[in-house]
Amino acid sequence: MSNMIRTKSCFLCLVLAMLCLSYICISPSKASYFGKTAYSKVLLSDKDQLISARIAADGQWRIPHVGNLSDKYKKAVLLFEDRNFSWHWGFDPIALARAAFLNLKHGTIVSGGSTITMQLARLARNNPPRTYWEKFREVLLAVDLEIKFSKDEILELYSNHVPVGGNHIGVTTGAFYYFGRPLDQLTWAESALLAVLPNSPGLLHLSKNRDILKAKRDRLLTRLQDEGYMSLQDLELSKLEPLPIRNFPISQGSHHLLNTLSAQNLKTNTFHSYINQPLQNRLYQISKSFSGVLSGNHINNLAILVLDQKRRVIGYIGNSPLDELKEGRFVDIVQRPRSTGSLLKPFLYGLMLDSSLITPMTLVQDIPRSFGRFRPENFDRSYRGAVPSQEALIKSLNIPFANMLKSYGIDRFHYFLKSSGITTLNQPASHYGLSLILGGAESTLFQLSDLYSRMAYQVSNQDKDTIPAISLHKGQTEKQSVGFKMSLGASFLTIQAMQEVVRPGVEAHWQKFLGGRNIAWKTGTSHGFRDAWAIGVSPEFTVGVWVGNADGTGRPELTGIKQAAPILFQALHSLPDQKSFDIPWFDLKTIAVCRENGYRASQGCEEADVEVPAKSRFQKTSPHHKLVQLDSSGQYQVHSQCESVYNMKQRLIFSLPPIEAHYFRRYHSWYKGTPPFRKDCNDSLSAVEVMSFIYPFPSSNIYVPNDFGGRSATVFKVAHKQSKQTLEWYLDREYLGKTKLFHEMAIDPKPGRHRITVVDLQGRRISRFFEILD
């Protein structure tokens, strides 16, 4: 009889072994375990604090833990759930036997006897109903898991998939949800709470069952102390820690960055950024404050970007707060191409310094002018005749910079921008023309801030030959360095000019205060008041701001100085005090130029010293200085036919062309120009030397609109060096009249081609052809 029982037992064991072996052979592959699990997208700060998260596709908050689990949590969960985890093969026979005895004794399931591996097997099958058959299947799957995964991998999978309350899955999710910190920064009490929570996740409620849960936690803490993992003092202090009374709120303002990173990195779930959370919170409050003010003018969107001295993104506000329900609030404006306005002017200025085309003091023409069909205007609708190039940058004058780009070359500047990271220039240089410098192209706040940061990095890191690539997060594998084809000396001189830009409000008097921030900055405004920009740099930081409407709707007073600049300086005040840029003397040199116009000193003009890049070979001599013969009074020009040579005085005169002189003297009371000839001396100057048309432009096609009284007149203008001259006007040989002092004539010609002629008292005449369109 005993032999028969033994035979049957061996047969049953053999069958059971074959069933187990067969099940294991046809069991799921390693990749199939949790391989299709949907994870939350998570953004962590520079200190691994949760600053933004996006719920998983299945509606669960599931934040994966990457790397080794914290030692405190591992000790707590193994002691609580599975003391024999390190040696068993997926199931613990003793624990299963004890559980079976207790369940039979009580007539219901009071203990499962499951190991961590068996619990993981159960989680892999979406928690099926508890039956003895299901328990058997758990054992088989647990053995399979032990074969296919290491102990550390099993524990990590378990920790990532255990429920921790509500729709929150995984202990890392619990660590952030309840405590606002990553798992490795939790205390013993917090780690113990997460260890006991999966056993009864429904116990953690903001208002009930708190005593039961705390008792479970404290019992585990006592066991941890009994095992020697903590001191008695640590135990007492840990028991004093209260349970969380509410979930830890996720920081606001970083969702746009998370969405952008998720779109760029589809297979990545957790992003370790360089975002400084306190700074990000301040930027969010700034955006919220200004967003309310901007709403009064129907301006819905804004963006702020902050880079540190290592060119890492430490602050990122992609748009107005989502809770304000504004149009376009989901758009990440930091990455959206917009018209650049005037933001490219500093780089043209620096490149022209490097190319020996200008010095900071060189005068650039600022008069009404058209370049084919392109007719730029200064923002203030005024003309200065001629301005130093540095002043043109400080005041962001459009006409001088159109002239400068024409001189430098559109193709050259277009190439510089593309090679410096402006990837949004997807058309050839000819497509943009001279409008390239005045907002005719588009770029993003990210790329423009990057460009300014390259210039600032070069000046603040004078001992380094390369510029690191900008970093959005720690997992980037981009190229290590980037290009910037502007010399150190030119970059410094450009920044030096930008430091003189007048600041808004009380910031305008920053130099009067001790410790005033020495910021180089620039604003920009696009055509139609659609985009307002402000970007500022210091040796430590670059801050970029954009304000406008995501759909491109323009608004009155939507300008860089009025809307973006105040936000810029509020953001700068959220940063530590910045030091000044060091002067790179080794990449600069001093040259002598004429004080009045910034050209190389010659013929004895009054000299001034100016710094230029060391590579500059600027040799242009002054076109505005000439020697004239004056009478003994020094007030009038004379020549040998009307004055004795012995009575003549020779003087070097600074004299601009007629149109430039016409506007220049309005801003410079000291400007005298060329003295007139004495009455008894014939004026030897040619017509083009003394007068010129301001309007019409050469070969103009003029459209004259109708007003309420019929066709309106067109006002033609002429500039004459001798302000008291009388000019006579003729249209197609028909006398129109004469002007004194202010040489403007309103004319209403018929459609067709015409010729306008102006004659002064000395008989000098100038003419210009134009066409009136029908």
Average pLDDT over all residues of the chain? 86
User: Is the pLDDT assigned to residue 15 strictly greater than 60?
Assistant: no
User: Is the pLDDT assigned to residue 709 strictly greater than 50?
Assistant: no
> Do 384 and 495 share a domain, yes or no?
yes
Residue 258 lies in a domain: no
User: Is the pLDDT assigned to residue 685 strictly greater than 50?
Assistant: yes
Q: The domain containing residue 732 runs over which residues?
A: 687-773
**pLDDT tens, residue by residue, 400-435:** 999 999 999 999 999 999 999 999 999 999 999 999
How far, in Å, CA of 159 to CA of 179, rounded? 17
Residue 676 lies in a domain: no
Point out the domain boundary residue: 485, 508, 531. Answer: 508
Based on the structure, what is the number of domains in the chain? 5
How far, in Å, CA of 149 to CA of 29, rounded? 11
> Do 102 and 223 share a domain, yes or no?
yes
Q: Phi/psi zone of residue 768: left (φ > 0), alpha (ψ -120 to 50 degrees), beta?
A: beta
In the predicted model, what is the mean pLDDT of residues 349-365? 97
> Do 400 and 486 share a domain, yes or no?
yes
User: Is the pLDDT assigned to residue 253 strictly greater than 90?
Assistant: no
pLDDT band at 20 (very low <50, low <70, confident <90, very high): low
Task: Output phi, psi for 477, to 5 deg.
Answer: -125, 45
In the predicted model, what is the mean pLDDT of residues 669-691? 80
The pLDDT of residue 96 is: 60
**DSSP character string of 361-385:** T-EEEES---BTTB----TTS---E
User: Is the pLDDT assigned to residue 1 strictly greater than 60?
Assistant: no
User: Is the pLDDT assigned to residue 668 strictly greater than 80?
Assistant: yes
The pLDDT of residue 511 is: 46
Residue 403 lies in a domain: yes
pLDDT band at 664 (very low <50, low <70, confident <90, very high): very high
Q: Tell me the CATH number at 450.
A: 3.40.710.10
Q: Is 415 exposed, middle or buried (0-12, 13-18, 19+ CB in 10 A)?
A: middle
> Do 110 and 232 share a domain, yes or no?
yes
Point out the domain boundary residue: 224, 240, 256. Answer: 240
> Do 654 and 738 share a domain, yes or no?
no
Residue 331 lies in a domain: no
The pLDDT of residue 22 is: 52
**pLDDT tens, residue by residue, 499-520:** 999 877 645 544 444 345 689 9
In the predicted model, what is the mean pLDDT of residues 639-649? 81
> Do 16 and 100 share a domain, yes or no?
no
Catalytic residues: 81, 342
> Do 375 and 405 share a domain, yes or no?
yes
Residue 306 lies in a domain: no
The pLDDT of residue 426 is: 94
> Do 15 and 116 share a domain, yes or no?
no
The pLDDT of residue 361 is: 97
**pLDDT tens, residue by residue, 305-351:** 999 999 999 999 999 987 777 888 899 999 999 999 999 999 999 99
pTM exceeding the 0.95 threshold for the entire prediction: no
The pLDDT of residue 271 is: 93
> Do 5 and 153 share a domain, yes or no?
no
Query: How many residues appear in the chain?
Result: 774
Strand duo 168-169 + 61-62: pairing: parallel
The pLDDT of residue 677 is: 82
User: What token pair was written down for 250?
Assistant: 């996720």
Q: Phi/psi zone of residue 634: left (φ > 0), alpha (ψ -120 to 50 degrees), beta?
A: left
> Do 27 and 158 share a domain, yes or no?
no
Of the chain, the percentage scoring pLDDT greater than 90 comes to 52
In the predicted model, what is the mean pLDDT of residues 481-508? 87
> Do 222 and 367 share a domain, yes or no?
no
* Low-confidence winner among 201-215, 261-275, 464-478, 713-727 (lowest mean pLDDT): 201-215
The pLDDT of residue 644 is: 78
> Among residues 535, 529, 525, 524, which one has the least CA distance to residue 552?
529
Residue 88 lies in a domain: yes
Q: Widest CA span of the chain, in angstroms? A: 155
Residue 748 lies in a domain: yes
**DSSP character string of 524-550:** EE-TTS-EEEEEEE-SS-EEEEEEE-T
